[in-house]
Structure 1
Amino acid sequence: MTWFADAGVPVHVLRRIAGHGSLTTTQRYLHPDVRKITATGAALSARFNVLRTPRSLPGPVVMAR
């Protein structure tokens, strides 16, 4: 199950494949790789840092005659 989850198969699909009645049962069989957890945390941090960075305002408009 973990390999399927690591490959991107959604947990609700894994539940159906395994024939489990609930997502909780399926989640008990998932054991994410520590490297994947770390990489996901780093990706989220990078994304949040981009969102927090103030965007610069455009410069003044110069009108030519």
Structure 2
Amino acid sequence: MFKVLSDPTRIKILYLLSQEECNVNHIAEVLEMSQSAVSHQLSMLRNLRLVKYRREGKTLFYSCDDEHVISLL
């Protein structure tokens, strides 16, 4: 888990998700990244159960899944 958290981009994503629930487009806009790069990072975070998502139509909304990680940050 610490290897995953060592990447500044993933920390920025986690911080943003700790503030609000976001979809990939919003995260990409705020962090000025491509949607595919954000999706790749979210996939890694999701595999470690650090983020969760809910589906609303075709859109996925992501949020933090583990509050302990936020307290570490």
TM-score bucket (shorter structure): 0.3 to 0.5
User: Of the two, which has the highest radius of gyration?
Assistant: 1
Higher strand share goes to which structure? 2
